[in-house]
Amino acid sequence: MCKKFQNKLYFHSFIKRTLEIFIILTVIITFSACSVPNALKPKKVDPSIPVNADERARQNIEKGRGISLKGAMGGRKSTNYEFSTSNPLWRASLEIIDFMPLATVDYSGGIIITDWYTDSPNTNESIKITVRFLSNEIRSESLKIIVHNKKCKTSESCKINEIDSSIKFELQKSILAKAVKFERETKK
């Protein structure tokens, strides 16, 4: 009988202790969750911002934050959209290296990368050209040209190096000359 009583007493104390822990955790969670997130807190009202939506829209358009039909239809000509056909450096570069297969051409990123090219019967050696556009101005500093050379002993054993040869300088000179020609034609 004593053993039964002890088990019953132990069981009740266990339930009581579990209930106490549950109540304590519930109280802690309840009070810690009482703060209001910043997204739900009311924002301070700026007295210079009108309450009426039409007045707010008109004020935003006047400050240049919105869009109006006049601005969308060409009332404001401050934005300069430039396409690849209007960029003489871009056009000249593509025309100069048009004999080579192109691997990557990205006007918005300002880069042209050719595929490996060889014009000799010796197919163990080929070149790859990368043209980076640093500016739209027709100057030598606006272009960065990188020439890589690939020499293969076998189809699996190739060595690739960046070379600083006359190809790089001749290519830059040709692109700039062609770009100047395109620029003059555009101005006429």
Residue range 12-45, pLDDT digits in tens: 778 888 889 989 888 877 776 666 666 666 777 6
Residue 41 lies in a domain: no
- The residue whose two tokens read 């009740």 is 12
Query: How many folded domains does the chain comprise?
Result: 3
Max mean pLDDT among 61-70, 79-88, 137-146 falls in 137-146
Both 169 and 103 in one domain: the answer is yes
Domain boundary among 79, 100, 131: 79
Separation CA 183–CA 143 (nearest Å)? 16
- pLDDT tens-place string over residues 95-111: 999 889 999 988 888 89
| Span between the terminal Cα atoms of the chain, in Å | 115
**Beta-bridge partner residues of 127:** 117, 149
Both 182 and 94 in one domain: the answer is yes
Both 147 and 169 in one domain: the answer is yes
Strand order in the sheet with 143-152: 102-106, 111-114, 125-133, 143-152, 158-163
Q: Which residue has the higher pLDDT, 115 or 31?
A: 115
| Structural domain boundaries, residue 118 | 85-187
Both 166 and 111 in one domain: the answer is yes
Both 71 and 164 in one domain: the answer is no
Both 140 and 101 in one domain: the answer is yes
